[in-house]
Structures are given as C-alpha cells and as structure tokens.
C-alpha cells in the first residue's frame, strides 16, 4: 500500500470497493468457501513484518493486525485496554503498573506474559526503534512481580508514556522467539508470531502477504473476517484497475480520483478531522554538507516553495499548509507564531547571492541531489521544486529508489544532499517530532531519526524539559520556544500536513475501530448487505 508512515494513509486515499474474489452465486459479501476475505492493495512491498524494529509506515497496515500492544486509542483519543486489562499511575507520575490479560497466547500457542513486555521494552523498543530510543529513555527499571503484571519505574515523569505504549507504536514481540541472536536478522521478522486478531499464513514475494483469522484471539468472537490478503500492486494505476475488476477491495488511489469516486453510489467518502497522529511533509537538508551550513541557503530553499500550489495541484485540496515542525492538528503543542518564509523567488535568489553562490555560464549556482522518501506525493513535490529551484539557479537532481535503498542512502551511507520526508509528527512531540531534532537521536541505519544531523544545545534542553514536564501550560511553553528556534535554524522546511481521506464501500461496517484508523487491528470489520 502506498502510504507515507505510521497510523494513516496521508498521501493517498483508501478505497474499499466491493468484495472481490467472490462467487456471484453466494452473493456479493459471501466468499467462495462461505468465508469473508478482504483483499488489500499493498505497495511498496515491505522488507520485514515487525514494526517494533522500524518506523517504516509502509508495513503498519499489515503488522497492526498481527501484533497487539498494551493499549489502543478510541475515537476520542482516550486509551483503551488491549493486552493490558487495566493500569495505574502513581501520584508522582514515576510508577506505571500494568495488569495483563490472563490466558492470552502467542500464535504458536505459547503463553503471553509480563516477561515478553519487559524483554521487548528493554531489548527492542529502546534499542532499535527511532521513536522508542527517546520515548522509553526515562524508564529506569522494569519489574515483573507476576507473569501478569509489569511495573515501569521512571527516572523522570513522562506524560506521553501511555501514548507511546499504544498498539501502533509499541507492538510486543515474543521473548521466546527473539531472546537469542540479533533481532534485526531474526527469521521471524518475515514470518511473524503475534497475539493479534490475525495470524501470518504465508508471504509470496512479489504477489501477496496472507493472514488468517486467529481462532484463539483473546477478544472473544473477533475478528469477523476470516482472512486478509495484502496483494502487492506496484502503482496506483494498477491498483485502480484492480478495484474496478474487484480483484482487491481496498487500495490507495490517486487523490485526483476522489472527485470521480464521490459520484459512485456504493462508495462513501469521509475525511478524518482528528487523527491519532497527524502527518507532516518536509524538505530536509544534510547539514554535514558545507553549503547547507549557511542558513541563508536553507532560507532560500524555503522561499522557493509555494505551499498553496502544492496543496491545490498535488494534494487536490486534501492538505493544509505547515509552517511549523509541529502541525496544526496537534493543537495542544502547535505554535503559529514562528518565522515564516513566504513564496518569493526574488528573495530566494537574493539570499543565494548573499551567500556567495554565483551563477556559472549556464546559469547554475548550485547542483543538489534530492532523495525523496518513496511515496507518490513526495516524489511529485520533488519534481515541482526542481522547476522552481531552476528559476533561481539551483539544479535539483532527483534520485528515486525503493524504501530499503532510500534508508541505506540517507540514514546509513549518508550519501545525500537533501531529502523529502513524509512522516508522522505525533501524537505527542516526544513520539514524533523529537526524533528529527534531538542531537543524539541519529542512529545509523534507522529510518526517520535525525537525518539532518542537526544539533542545537538549547533545542536539546527544551526537548528534555518537554519530555518530563507534567504541567501542560509549562510544557506548551517549552515546545513553543523549541518551534521558534528550529524554524530559525531551519534544518528542515515544513511544507504541508495532509488530510486523512477515507473512501469505503457502504456495506463495510466498523472498519475503523480506533483513532489509529487504517493502523487499527480490523478486529471489528465486517460486511453487511
């Protein structure tokens, strides 16, 4: 499925359109064998199926059906139990006690216990996940007094911690499978064992990833669907064709198709106004490159971006302008009073002149490579910027690659000048925004860490303060100052925050059972004529 990262499809539209692979004799919503199957278009094809080890959002749609977390979030963005039946937080905010559900089993029949939670937190989340490295840093001790109780002791308060433990961000892995060897090379990364409503069945490379109903799921009577098939479809055009032939029932389609889809009677178009975690698309510099160490050069690039054009012509109105590194959808933290860089090519050119970048005989001041995060809209933005930058003497050379090569080039080899990133910024700054700006958060090979290699002592201090502050007013003030500084330093240019638009077949009910939307577990999804 063509998605940006985490929680929602932000750069495209989810389309559910008729239950395919069905027998007409059995009716539209009855499968050939009497069971209900949902076929989903998936692109790109993932490299692993354990998002505890990565923040690559292209796999979240799949893994969220296989793995559970301790809790989830409802439509009101309030925590609800999953693997934890309940929890308590001490008055000082330093001790979190989670009581686990009894009689939960892994898909291989082994019992789920507190040892699995402790192992995953200490050996997976805080070591190999670019969010978890920061979010779980305050956890100083993990105790397991009983097989069904986990106690987290914190060195400092962490008001975001429950959000960090959601099913989306903190899927628990089985200790008995991951205890030995390097987790990054564990063979079960591609044939996962979870506790979720669906079990991994098989992965036919280049064709499909098949899941089946977990008959022993702890939530009795669920899931309602008997199987999920994630069919690998390489582009949006092919996905649209598959929808029309009913080869798939859920797919990403070009935003330009939404107007037409609104006219199809059996489809329903919805916009989600308050997603669990809003997305942000931004242009990021490699600050290890000498030319980008001059803030005037970075400002010139910012003045070359017309957000209104991007929203109208690339997102077809399904986005809002982003001027700060925290998007407006995160209203508890958003600061509208930050330095802005309005579209002004004359200003951009003047800044490049001030920086000493003169045009050569061909009118070129600077040649810059751009490696966009592989997603439909980020690539389109790159092509748009190439045209604008050419007008001010900057030659932008776009390099396209699949996601593994993108991660290798940007976050491992560091062989890049600039990149366009589509990623999530929340639901709390500690979980989303912080990883891009905290100086120590760059980890070689881990996607969507501090790829710019940005470092500012005061920013680090403010992020530390925001991470531990329990007073919401003071916390907002820390993040306000943080936004002021990073929009002055400009290691990354915020461009847009995409709107979540969902198109479904009207007979599909209870498809989204949490504010995590597509990254929910599909346990309640069912068809009703």
Residue 34's pLDDT is what?
A: 65
Low-confidence ranges of the chain (pLDDT < 50): 1-32
389's enclosing H/E stretch is helix 376-390
pLDDT the model gives residue 273: 54
pLDDT for residue 272: 67
pLDDT, one tens digit per residue, over 471-521 is: 899 999 999 999 999 999 999 999 999 887 777 777 778 877 776 777 889
Q: Residues of 291-317 as b/e, b for ≥16 C-beta within 10 angstroms?
A: ebebebbbbbbbbbbbbeebbeebbbe
Dmax (CA) of the chain: 74
How far is Cα 62 from Cα 229, in angstroms, rounded to an integer?
A: 10
Rounded to whole angstroms, how far apart are CA atoms 64 and 169?
10
pLDDT of amino acid 333? 92
Q: What is the pLDDT of residue 414?
A: 93
Specify the pLDDT at position 3: 37
What structural domains does the chain harbor?
A: 279-498 (3.10.105.10)
Q: What pLDDT score does 529 carry?
A: 65
Neighbouring-strand partners of residue 105: 111
Over residues 388-399, the pLDDT tens digits come to 999 999 999 999
Do residues 493 and 341 make contact, with C-beta atoms less than 8 angstroms apart?
yes
Phi/psi class of residue 379: alpha, beta or left (left: φ > 0; alpha: ψ in -120 to 50)? alpha
Half-sphere exposure of 191 (CA within 13 A, CB side): 9
Cβ neighbours of residue 182 under 8 Å, at least 6 residues apart?
none
Query: Which pLDDT value is given to residue 21?
Result: 38
How far is Cα 433 from Cα 429, in angstroms, rounded to an integer?
Answer: 5
Q: How far apart are the first and last CA of the chain?
A: 27
């Amino acid at each position: 499925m063509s998605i940006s990262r985490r929680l929602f499809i932000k750069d495209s539209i989810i389309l559910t359109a008729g239950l395919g692979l069905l027998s007409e004799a059995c009716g539209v919503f009855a499968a050939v064998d009497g069971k209900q199957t949902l076929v989903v278009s998936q692109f790109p094809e993932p490299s692993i199926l354990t998002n505890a080890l990565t923040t690559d959002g292209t796999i979240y749609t799949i893994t969220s059906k296989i793995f559970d977390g301790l809790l989830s979030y409802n439509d009101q963005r309030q925590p609800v139990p999953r693997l934890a039946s309940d929890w308590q937080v001490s008055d000082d905010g330093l001790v979190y006690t989670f009581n686990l559900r009894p009689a939960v089993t892994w898909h291989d029949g082994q019992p789920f216990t507190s040892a699995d939670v402790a192992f995953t937190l200490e050996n997976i989340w805080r070591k190999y996940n670019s969010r978890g490295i920061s979010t779980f840093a305050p956890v100083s001790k993990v105790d397991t007094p009983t097989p069904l109780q986990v106690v987290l002791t914190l060195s400092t308060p962490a008001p975001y911690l429950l959000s960090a433990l959601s099913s989306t961000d903190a899927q628990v892995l089985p200790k008995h499978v991951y205890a030995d060897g390097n987790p990054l090379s564990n063979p079960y990364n591609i044939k996962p064992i979870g506790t979720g409503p669906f079990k991994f069945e098989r992965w036919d490379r280049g064709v499909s990833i098949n899941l089946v109903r977990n008959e022993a799921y702890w939530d009795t009577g669920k899931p309602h669907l008997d199987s999920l098939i994630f069919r690998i479809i390489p582009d949006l055009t092919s996905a649209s064709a598959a929808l029309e032939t009913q080869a798939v029932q859920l797919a990403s389609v070009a935003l330009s198709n939404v107007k037409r889809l609104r006219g199809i009677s059996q489809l329903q178009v919805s916009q989600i106004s308050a997603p669990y975690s809003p997305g942000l698309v931004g242009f990021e510099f490699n600050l290890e490159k000498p030319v980008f160490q001059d803030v005037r050069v970075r400002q010139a690039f910012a003045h070359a971006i017309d957000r209104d054009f991007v929203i109208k012509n690339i997102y077809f109105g399904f986005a809002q302008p982003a001027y700060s590194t925290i998007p407006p959808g995160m209203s508890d933290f958003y600061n509208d009073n930050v330095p802005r860089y309005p579209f002004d090519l004359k200003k951009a050119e003047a800044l490049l002149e001030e920086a000493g970048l003169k045009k050569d005989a061909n009118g070129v001041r600077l040649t810059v490579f751009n490696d966009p995060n592989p997603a439909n809209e980020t690539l389109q933005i790159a092509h748009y910027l190439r045209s604008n930058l050419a007008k001010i003497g900057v030659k932008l050379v776009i390099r396209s690659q699949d996601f593994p090569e993108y991660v290798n080039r940007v976050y491992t080899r560091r062989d890049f000048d600039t990149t366009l990133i589509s990623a999530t910024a929340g639901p709390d700054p500690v979980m989303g925004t912080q990883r891009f700006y905290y100086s120590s958060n760059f980890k070689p090979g881990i996607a969507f860490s501090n790829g710019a290699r940005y470092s500012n002592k005061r920013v680090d201090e403010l992020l530390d303060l925001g991470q531990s502050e329990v007073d919401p007013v003071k916390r907002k003030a820390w993040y306000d100052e943080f936004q002021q500084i990073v929009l002055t330093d400009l290691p990354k240019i915020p461009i847009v925050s995409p709107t979540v638009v969902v198109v479904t077949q009207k007979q599909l009910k209870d498809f989204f059972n949490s504010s995590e939307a597509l990254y929910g577990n599909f346990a309640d999804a069912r068809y009703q004529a």
